[in-house]
A and B are shown apart, each in its own frame.
Chain A
Amino acid sequence: MRIRRIMYRRKGVSTILGTLIFIGILFSAVIPMMLTMKQADIIMEREKLDLQRADDERSREVLDVYAYPKGSDHLEVLVESRCEVPATIAHIWINNTMHETSVVVDAMDETVVGNYSVNLSPGVNSTFRVKATTSRGNVFENLAGDIKYDGSDWETETLGIYVVIDSEGGGFWGFGRYRCTVTNSTTYYKQEESSITFGSCSFFFDVTACGSGDFHVEVEKKSGWFWGSWNTVYEEDVEITWPNGAPVIWVFTT
C-alpha cells in the first residue's frame, strides 16, 4: 500500500514540470512578445495622431504674401497670417532663387520676412515672381501677382481692397444683405451688394486703374427679407502705398 502511494504521488511530476515549462514559455516568450508588439502599436498610434494634427494644421495654414519694392533694388516681403496657427516661413522664392529663412508669423499677425536684393538694369524690363514656403510645406504666392520693373518704374498686376464681413447673423432670423462702397476723392466709385446672406461674405475692389492712394470703405447692412433700410455698420479710410507697401489692403468687419 505504501509503495502504491509513493508511485501515485510521483505520477504528477511530469505534469507539474510540463505546466512549469508552459508557464515559463508564457512569461518569458509570449508575454514579452505581446508587450513589445503592443508598445509598437502604441508608438504607431501616437505618431499617427501627431501626423493627423500636423496635417490638420497644414490645411488650416492661410497666409497672404505681399512683395513690394524697398529702396532702389530690393524687394521687401510681408506675410500676413489669416489663420489661427503660427507659421514658420522656411523659404522665400524670388523667381528661381531660394532664400532660406526661419521667420515665425504669429496667428492673425503680420511680419516683414525680409528685404531681398534683386538685379535691376535701367531700361530693361524685369519680372519678379515671389512666393513663400512654410515649414509645413505650403506654398503661397504673392497675392498681387508678378511684380514688374519696366526699366524705370515698378508695376504690379493688381492693386485692390479686399473687404471681409464676418457676420454672426442678426436682423430677420439672421438674414440680410450687405452693400459695400469704396470711393476715393477723385475718380473711383464702386458699390457692390451681396445677395441675401447668412453669415460671412466678401468683396474685392480692383483699384489698379486709379493707382495707389487714399480710399474710403463703407459697409452697410439691410436686415430683413425685402423691407428695412440700409444702415452703416462700418467705415474706414485706407491707404494703398504701393510701391512702398502692400498692393492689396484687407478690411475686416463684423
Chain B
Amino acid sequence: MSVKRRALSPVIATVILSGVVLAVGGAIWSYSLGAATVTADSYISDTMALLYELQERFDVEHIVYDSTNLSLKVWVYNYGEVNVTVDVYVTLNATVVESSDNHLIPAYNTTKVKIDFSANPLQSQDQVAVKVYSRRQNVAYQTYYVP
C-alpha cells in the first residue's frame, strides 16, 4: 500500500511542474510574440520613414519678386515619388527675413509659394537666399538677385 502511494507524489509533482512550465512558457511565448511584432513593426516603420526621406527629391525651380505686390514667389518642383511638405525661409544677409510654412507638394508636381514682403520690402540688387526645408529634413536652396 505504502509502495503504491509513493508513486502519487511524483506524478502530482510532474503535473504541477509541467503546469508551471506551460504557464510560464506560455506567458514568455505571448510576451515574445508581442515584443517581436512590436519590434518588427517599429523596424519597418523606421525603415519606411528613412526610405521616404531618401526618396524625397525637390528643387527650387523658379523665383520672382513682385515689386508691385511686394511678394516673393517661389516655385518648388517635387520630382520625387513621395509627397513632400516644405517650409520656405528667405534669408537676407544671413538673417531670416520672411518664411512660409507647411506647403504640401504632391509627387511630380510644382507648387508656388507666395511670401509676403509688405512688412519688409526687398530692394533692387538685394541678394536673398531661398531655403526650402522639408519636414523630413531635406534641403534645397537657391540664390536670387532682386532685379
Question: By the criterion CB–CB under 8 Å, are B21 and A33 in contact?
Answer: no
Question: By the criterion CB–CB under 8 Å, are A21 and B108 in contact?
Answer: no
Considering the complex, which residues of chain A in the window 6-36 have a beta carbon less than 8 Å from any beta carbon of chain B? 6-7, 10-11, 13-14, 17-18, 21-22, 24-25, 28-30, 32-33, 36
Question: By the criterion CB–CB under 8 Å, are B17 and A139 in contact?
Answer: no
**Which of A41-49, A189-197, A225-233, A240-248 contacts the other chain?**
A41-49
Q: How far is the CB of B67 from chain A (nearest CB, A)?
A: 13
- Asked if B57 is at the interface (CB within 8 A of a chain A CB), the reply is yes
Contact-residue bracket for chain A: 35 or more
Question: By the criterion CB–CB under 8 Å, are A28 and B17 in contact?
Answer: no
Tell me, in angstroms, the Cα distance from A33 to B35 when the chains sit together: 9
Tell me, in angstroms, the Cα distance from A232 to B68 when the chains sit together: 59
Considering the complex, which residues of chain B in the window 31-49 have a beta carbon less than 8 Å from any beta carbon of chain A? 32-33, 35-37, 39-40, 43-44, 47-48
B39's nearest neighbour on chain A, judged by CB, is A33
Instruction: Find chain A residues with CB under 8 A from B36 CB.
Output: 29-30, 32-33
Tell me, in angstroms, the Cα distance from A48 to B22 when the chains sit together: 46
> Chain B residues in contact with chain A, CB under 8 A?
3, 6-7, 10-11, 14, 17-18, 20-22, 25-26, 28-29, 32-33, 35-37, 39-40, 43-44, 47-48, 50-51, 54-55, 57-59, 61-62, 64, 73, 75, 77, 79, 108, 110
Please list 13 pairs of residues, one from A and one from B, whose beta carbons are closer than 8 Å in the complex, sorted by A's number. A13-B17, A17-B18, A17-B25, A21-B22, A21-B29, A30-B36, A33-B39, A43-B47, A44-B51, A48-B54, A91-B61, A93-B62, A96-B64
